[in-house]
Structure 1
Amino acid sequence: MTPASSDLLAELTGRTEDMVRDVLALCRIESPSDSLTAQHAVADLAEELGSVLFGRRPERIVEHGRPALLWAPEPGGVLLLGHLDTVWPTGTLAHWPVPQRTEHALSAPGVFDMKAGVVQGWYALHAIGAPRGCGMLLNTDEEIGSPDSRALIERAAAGSRAVLVLEPSADGALKTGRKGASRYQVAVTGRAAHAGLDPANGINALLELADQVRDIAALSAGEVTVVPTLARAGTTTNTIPAEALVHIDARFPTLRAQRAVDTRIRALIPYRSGASVRVSGGPDCPPMEPSQSAELFRLAQRAARTLGLAELTATTVGGASDGNTTAALGIPTLDGLGAVGACAHAEGEYALIAEMPRRAALVAELVTALLAASDQDP
């Protein structure tokens, strides 16, 4: 039987020390995305901890040597989504103080993004009896765009009633929108010539690239950001550059804006006779638009009020997550249900201890409401 809301929050508050213990255990295993050895080590511990709380073992799925853990929900159920990899390289713990606990917070590499959220999800489901209608997928390559696990995410989420993403909150706010991302490489080919003896016979690819970069940057408008980032050109200091290349990071609040910029970038033409411009890359992930989270956010607000928690707020953020992938499938998706804290990807990253049982209770109450609504569907 699912406990009453007041009992649910009390039960999870009473498990705070257990959550702290498990979060710190996960954080003591360094798990940078680029180390398969590290990913298997953290997956081993996550499988052990999660199985105790779920009451069943996950399916361990390995793609290109990279592990993922799936506690599959029943068809039409709810999927919790998270990741075990971090941005912190192996060796970070050697110069970061041992994962710290202060009176109010836990500080460790990956604690906020997003090992605390993973643990909160386990305890949330345990508190409501680990219903078969709710499952969890944990991958190990989210921080690098989920290249190996994206297809798995799509398969695991297919047919779900909702996806709840255990990524960290944004100053406590849930993430009802995430910008989509596109990545391009714009390559320019010119013609080499001696910079001192015969510059007029060359076609300067660097100057051509500069003109292209100006036009590309001008595509930024409002919430749409189109940013030239990494560039290179030339071979020697006394040669007109025959080749130049720039990488572009573009972010969009809507699919319509993403498609419009894609059309513009692919239509680039050279300014200089004899030069050529080649565009590669394209949309990397679609945006998660607030309309796709609206109903779930209303349910979350209701759950928070039922639990006696502070009123929830919502925001749209620039970074993408695996929630973008599930939202693109047309599945209602709500993000930012994990840790409350700050300093993701930065020294001093932390998660607030007092918020851990509260956010776990919020997830538990939200899952309970979604499964109850599913039972009432004809």
Structure 2
Amino acid sequence: MKMILMLLMVVLSSQFATAAEINRIWLTHKSNDPSKIVVNWISDQSGDAVVRFGLSDEYGETVRINENTTLHHVEIPLTHRDATYHYSVSTGEQRSADFTFKAYPSEVLRVAVVADWQGKPDLSAIENDDVHLLLTAGDNIARLWDKCGEGEKECIQPYAELIDSYPELFRSTPFMPALGNHDREIRPRGSKPPVESVYDVDALAFRRFFELPDDEWKWHFDLSEFDLRFVALDFNHISDFGTTWQTCHAFDENSEQFHWYSKLMKQSSGFVVTLYNERNASVRNQAQKQWLDLFQRGTCCITGFGYFAERAEVDGFPYYNTSLSGKGNQYPDPNSKYLASEDSYILLTVKRGGSITVEIKSLKNKVLDHQEYKRR
């Protein structure tokens, strides 16, 4: 009898594991516009990927991908504005609860930009802002090697732990990160360049985990109803370029990145917000200051290079620095107009047919700096 009970417990335990609830879910975009969204999740067991979605918990629409993996990326169409979408995901017998996210608005858009996420602070202020989109200016994790082993390029565990830290935020708000050096650190940096590369320039783990537009290490995303374009560039530790400390892609005037951004800016006529993870003053001087000329065709640049909050202006063009860990060493821009040791983020508010408001906000939900910009 004891043996039968033990066998029954094993069977029941196996059935329970098979039907484990899926909780690690995050939303991204891999298209260049908001007509589609990607639902991403990790399941305990390998299997197919199914997303059920609609404007109520009865769903009505389904997208299925026949695969056999635990990391899932499923793109679904978005046809509504000013509404709430319900969705659930499943892999085999594993399912999630019913979750929701906001459809994009038709009149007023709110976007938050964060950087330096290593400390994983309380983000209640951002949640209270009820943003439609969450972006970053780099350094979304602390490093890869201490969780994954030195030299491991495709291990996603640090990114999964980031999702686990803010489950409600990531399953309800589309998330589009830009790259920083910490996001691809596969070996300890040390005091001098080692024999082997410290960073994975191709950012394989980052690109494997997130579904983003274009090459993913650089991307752009357009919200045409608001005449708004976001561009993420790969700028970080540019002084280390050409050494085993090199972390980003080439950025000279003959580089793929330069030509790509130049083409985008020539096509842009509305608001353009450029994101990267390097000191603003250093980036402006690259390629005989041609980057400065390209930036000034847009609206503003936002970086997460230093642990402080800042707005600088060059010829009337604004450069921002933001950090969720804002009480570290400061590297002020020579053209700084606002500078503070504050844990901060950027809140962008765009009115359809109107201006864009850029606010530096503390994690205590205090507005530290407020500016309004019209189309250039």
Question: TM range, normalised to the smaller chain?
Answer: under 0.3
Q: TM-score normalized by structure 1? A: 0.28
Indicate the structure with greater helix content. 1
Report the TM-score, using the length of structure 2 for normalisation: 0.28
Is the strand fraction higher in 1 or 2?
2
Higher RCO (C-alpha under 8 Å, 6+ residues apart): 1
